[in-house]
Amino acid sequence: MSAQESNGRPAGPSAGGAGGSGQEPAHRAAPEPQPAPPLGDLEPAARAIFGPRLDLARRYTEHLASSGIVRGLIGPREAPRLWERHVLNCAVVQELIPADSRVVDVGSGAGLPGLCLAIARPDLQITLVEPLERRVVWLEEVVSDLELDNVRVLRARAEQAKQDVGAVDVVTARAVSALVGLVDITLPLLKGRGELLALKGRSAEDELTKASKKLGRFGVRESEVLTVGEDLLAEPTTVVRLVL
Q: Per-residue pLDDT tens for 20-43? A: 445 555 566 668 888 889 999 999
Return the pLDDT at 147: 98
Residue 99 — φ and ψ, nearest 5°?
A: -60, 145
Rounded-to-integer distance, Cα 201 and Cα 174, Å: 10
SS3 state of residue 28? coil
Rounded-to-integer distance, Cα 111 and Cα 102, Å: 16
112 known ligand binder:
yes
158 known ligand binder:
yes
152 known ligand binder:
no
Percent of the chain scored above 70 by pLDDT? Answer: 88
How much is the average pLDDT of 132-153?
98
Sheet of 195-200: strand order equals 151-155, 125-130, 102-106, 170-174, 195-200, 237-243, 222-228
Range list of β-strands (E), 59-191: 102-106, 125-130, 151-155, 170-174
Rounded-to-integer distance, Cα 62 and Cα 68, Å: 9
- pLDDT-derived band at 56, boundaries 50, 70, 90: very high
Return the pLDDT at 17: 39
Return the pLDDT at 31: 84
Tens digits of per-residue pLDDT, 61-112?
999 999 999 999 999 999 999 999 999 999 999 999 999 999 999 999 999 9
Least confident of 1-5, 135-139, 146-150, 156-160: 1-5
Average pLDDT, the chain: 90
Return the pLDDT at 27: 60
159 known ligand binder:
yes
Rounded alpha-carbon distances, angstroms, from residue 159 to 54, 76, 82, 83, 105: 34, 31, 30, 31, 13
- Helix, strand, coil shares of the chain, percent, nearest 5, are 45, 15, 40
209, burial (CB in 10 Å: exposed 0-12, middle 13-18, buried 19+): exposed
The helix/strand count (H/E) of the chain reads as: 8, 7
52 Cβ contact partners less than 8 Å away, ≥ 6 residues apart: none
Rounded-to-integer distance, Cα 89 and Cα 238, Å: 9
> 12 versus 133: which is more confidently predicted?
133
Rounded-to-integer distance, Cα 76 and Cα 33, Å: 8
Prediction pTM value: 0.87
Dihedral sign of CA atoms 127, 198, 72, 16 in order: positive
> 28 versus 227: which is more confidently predicted?
227
